[in-house]
Amino acid sequence: MIAPLMSTSPNEHVLKFVQDMIDLAQPDKTYWCDGSEEEVQRLYKEAVKTGSLEELNQEKLPGCYLRKSPQNDVARTEHLTFICSPKKEDSGPTNNWMSPKEGYEKCRKIYKGSMKGRTLYVIPFIMGPIDSLYSKIGVQVTDSIYVVLNMRIMTRMGKIALQRLGTSPDFTRCVHGKIDLEISHRLICHFPKDNFIWSVGSGYGGNALLGKKCMALRIASCLGKKENWMAEHMLILGLEDREGKKTYVAAAFPSACGKTNLAMMKTSLEKDGYKVWTLGDDIAWLHIGDDGYLRAINPEAGFFGVVPGTSEKTNPNALEMIQKNTIYTNVLKASDGTVWWEGKGEAPPDGVNWLGHPWTIRSSEKAAHPNSRFTTPASQCPSIASEWENPEGVPISAIIFGGRRAKVTPLVYEAFNWQHGTYLGATIASETTAAQTGDVGVVRRDPMAMLPFCGYNIGEYFQHWLNIGKSLENPPKVFYVNWFKTNEKGEYLWPGFGENLRVLRWIADRCQGKGEVSKTPIGYIPESLDFSGLDLSENQKKELFQIDSQAWKEEVQSRKEFFAKLGDCVPKELVEENESLGKRFS
């Protein structure tokens, strides 16, 4: 039985916000989350009793549960995601826009009376380490116990957040309601001016765990612009070398390019004294430190990762960390109460698939949804860095951008400087894979991998990048990688996964003023890379770094068209970078 704890918050602003939502949604009960261990266990029991979650085999997977979502609620819905800035131009050419008046009205209408017979949960939470000045507070209300239990993993939540907030009105107001989980009642609205998020009609993580994409990227990008810092869709890792020195790297790739795998990379090259330490796999908040470095914190406390393809080969650390205290969403439940997914690297067991249908190897349906997820505490990651909760963040020496390109882009190259690096980020391109709907191999531009997450005008966002670079005494070097180059037969030229450490090592060397380079029209490429022990022909090695002038001329034209499509908002420095690149090929 869940008891109401109405007097938990002494903060009048929080109380007013919550009371307004209670008046509107009219829940039967209100429950304030305290974040305690006792509470979690109680809520899991409640979730199992009411059918929101299924218990998994507690001997083999202690503390693990399964959620099955409705078929129409398994991914982010970008066409229903809006930036409700007062002026349309403030949301820019890459966002859907609605006026704040219309946004509030629509959400109110859908929310009104939607929690009759339900409980409204109040989740105060911190994004970022508890004692970091860079952290931000949010308060989310929701009628989903699944959301509560996920937020418990993904954020620092409960009493601790209210203590940290004190009497301040400075918190992100996050309103969520699953309503009936129907698309016709789905809207994800952001009100940057009011520091307010309102999401209705979806229980999917990216739409419903409002601390993540909604607050830590869309709203935070707006706060960062105002307060002179950056909220980025980046992993954070530390590469430790033989002398024990760590080089910190932040990296942005569009989806399906292996961000989580890179962040947790385990590699046979560890025997040479190198090791990758994980600090974050999805979001980085980057501030200008007193030391003139860009300092990164991970605002999240857990990982919400894609399950299919996670195996002993691709990501052994992830596989290990999801053996306990993990919520699985939309995977296969085997008859012994364990879980399975495509690409697990084990023979498929019989069981019940994500759709709730009996499943065997002969079934035509998928066992797990391609976007099935794990939610797991970051502290359980075997490669988690001891300093991952450092309140000051870690100093970033390198920023890596990347995408999936069969041709054109070499394995790795280095930007000439920060402005050139910003241009590389602004023109990130990735080819669609079979995992996405639509045509395979279509090039999509995704600036800084922030296309669906930048909460304001993308041109101003590019300008903000240029400005931040000018304020940094020790700006990170910027690199671009492509693990996905293929030969004429369409086979990958590079083995990827753990071998990517070879590229990271070169990047770390460059940051320490080492590593020989050749200057090319697109940037610096390695004079040599450690290929020892790899089964690569001389031709393959050459192809990995080949720069095809004709293909690059076409690339320059495609980037020109992309900037033109974005319009006048693109800073002239970036347009000029593209023109200069074109000239270097003429």
DSSP structural state of residue 212: I
Residue 441 neighbours by CB under 8 Å, 6+ apart: 406, 431, 432
Residue 577 binds Mn ion, judged by CB under 5 A:
no
Min dist CB 282 to Mn ion, Å, is 4
Q: Which does 128 bind (CB under 5 to 8 A by kind): ligand OXD, Mn ion, none?
A: none
Instruction: Tell me which residues in 67-126 interact with ligand OXD (CB under 6 A).
Output: 76
Of residues 118 and 259, the one with the C-beta less far from ligand OXD: 259
3-state secondary structure 486-548: ECCCCCECCCCHHHHHHHHHHHHHHHCCCCCEEEECCEEEECCCCCCCCCCCHHHHHHHHCCC
Min dist CB 453 to ligand OXD, Å, is 8
Of residues 206 and 402, the one with the C-beta less far from ligand OXD: 206
- Is 257 noted as a catalytic residue in this protein? yes
How far apart CA 206 and CA 211 sit, in angstroms, is 9
Of residues 206 and 475, the one with the C-beta less far from ligand OXD: 206
Min dist CB 78 to Mn ion, Å, is 13
Which segments of 380-454 are extended strands (E)?
A: 394-402, 412-414, 429-431, 443-445
Q: Which does 206 bind (CB under 5 to 8 A by kind): Mn ion, ligand OXD, none?
A: ligand OXD
The binder of Mn ion chosen from 90, 143, 282, 300 (CB under 5 A)? 282
Residue 206 binds ligand OXD, judged by CB under 6 A:
yes
Residue 431 binds Mn ion, judged by CB under 5 A:
no
The contact mask relative to ligand OXD for 16-55 (x = CB under 6 A, - = no) is: ----------------------------------------
Q: Which does 258 bind (CB under 5 to 8 A by kind): ligand OXD, Mn ion, none?
A: none
Transcribe 172-195 into DSSP letters: EEEEEE-TT--GGG-EEEEEGGGT
Residue 499 binds Mn ion, judged by CB under 5 A:
no
Min dist CB 97 to Mn ion, Å, is 22
Annotated catalytic residue: which of 174, 214, 257, 511? Answer: 257
Amino acid at the residue 26? Q
How far apart CA 43 and CA 47 sit, in angstroms, is 6
Residue 280 binds ligand OXD, judged by CB under 6 A:
no
Neighbours of 333 (CB within 10 A): 24
Nearest to 35, CA basis, from 119, 118, 130:
130
DSSP structural state of residue 385: -
The binder of ligand OXD chosen from 52, 81, 255, 261 (CB under 6 A)? 255
Neighbours of 443 (CB within 10 A): 16
Q: Which residue is nearest to Mn ion (CB)?
A: 282
Give yes or no for a contact between 161 and 195, defined as CB atoms under 8 angstroms apart. no
Min dist CB 244 to Mn ion, Å, is 31
The binder of ligand OXD chosen from 282, 389, 414, 431 (CB under 6 A)? 282
Question: Would you tell me the crossing angle of helices 418-426 and 572-584 to the nearest 10 degrees?
Answer: 90
How far apart CA 81 and CA 459 sit, in angstroms, is 20
Which residues contact ligand OXD by CB under 6 A?
A: 76, 206, 255, 282
By annotation, the residues acting in catalysis are 257
Binding site for Mn ion (CB under 5 A): 282
